[in-house]
Structure 1
């Protein structure tokens, strides 16, 4: 499949079928992600795959505690948008998805942040090609997850990708027109 077709088809998925995809598909998608370019070829990413139900539940509990704090302090346009879209501190997809892929970046590597997110982009398209859905969920405070998984200090959690076969009927959010996001020779 062509990259443009994959990108057009890919959407955020927060609901999953109970069927567990083969582990080989998860590894195949990560194989694609690890081919992403990185500053000084540092490849500053680490993918932690979680399929243990107890651990997924603990991750969900930790994230929801932090989400409660986040929602209690958030004001203005952001909280209005979250409420309008029906978002709440509860994140059932963190325990319902067959897999969680936690993506970490090595903060001592050059250009670690940019490089790690390029790898995430590759991963999203690879998952789409395999017929798997996900959402890029970034907890408001990743510290409890780092403690739970005993992550070394120089690694920073960038996103948690719940992965499985999509069961989310919601359509993809509309994208801006090409002429709204590109210009030549001037801004």
Structure 2
């Protein structure tokens, strides 16, 4: 499938079917992600796949605790949008998805942030091509999860990708038109 078709089809998925995809599919998607370009070819990413139910439960518990703090201090347009969309501090997808793919960056590498997020983009499209859904969930405070998983100090959690076969009927959010996001020779 062509990249544009994959990108147009890919949507955020927060609900998953209970059947677990084969590990080989997850590894195939990560195989694509690791081919992303990176500053000085440092390849600063590390992928941790969580499939253990108890560990997913602990991660969810830590994230929801941090979400409670986040929601208690968030105001303005962001809070209005969260309420409008029905979001709460509860993140059931963290324990219900068959897999959690945690993506970390080595902060000592050049262009670590940009490079890792390019790899995440590759990963999302690869998951879509394989018929798997995901949501890019970034915890408000990744430190408790880093501590739980004994992550080296130089690595920082960028995103958690709950992953599995999609069971989320909601449509993809509408995208801006090409004319709204492109200009030539200046802003």
TM-score tier, shorter chain, comes to: over 0.9
Deviations 1:56-105 (A, max 9, x none): 00000000000000000111111111001000000000000000000000
How many residue pairs match? The answer is: 187
Q: Secondary structure at the match of 1:103?
A: strand
- Within a 5 Å distance, the mapping from 1:14-29 to structure 2 comes to 14-29=14-29
Could you say which residue in structure 2 is the equivalent of 1:148?
148
Runs of 4+ residues over 4 Å off in structure 1: none
- Would you say 1:70 and 2:70 are equivalent positions? yes
Question: In 2, Cα distance between the equivalents of 1:136 and 1:35?
Answer: 19
RMSD: 0.4
Normalising to structure 2: TM-score of the pair?
Answer: 1.00
Question: In 2, Cα distance between the equivalents of 1:8 and 1:110?
Answer: 31
Question: In 2, Cα distance between the equivalents of 1:152 and 1:83?
Answer: 36
Deviations 1:148-181 (A, max 9, x none): 0000110000000000000000000000000000
| Runs of at least 5 residues in structure 2 that lack an aligned partner in the other structure | none
Could you say which residue in structure 2 is the equivalent of 1:114?
114
Question: In 2, Cα distance between the equivalents of 1:111 and 1:76?
Answer: 32
Q: Secondary structure at the match of 1:161?
A: strand
Could you say which residue in structure 2 is the equivalent of 1:124?
124
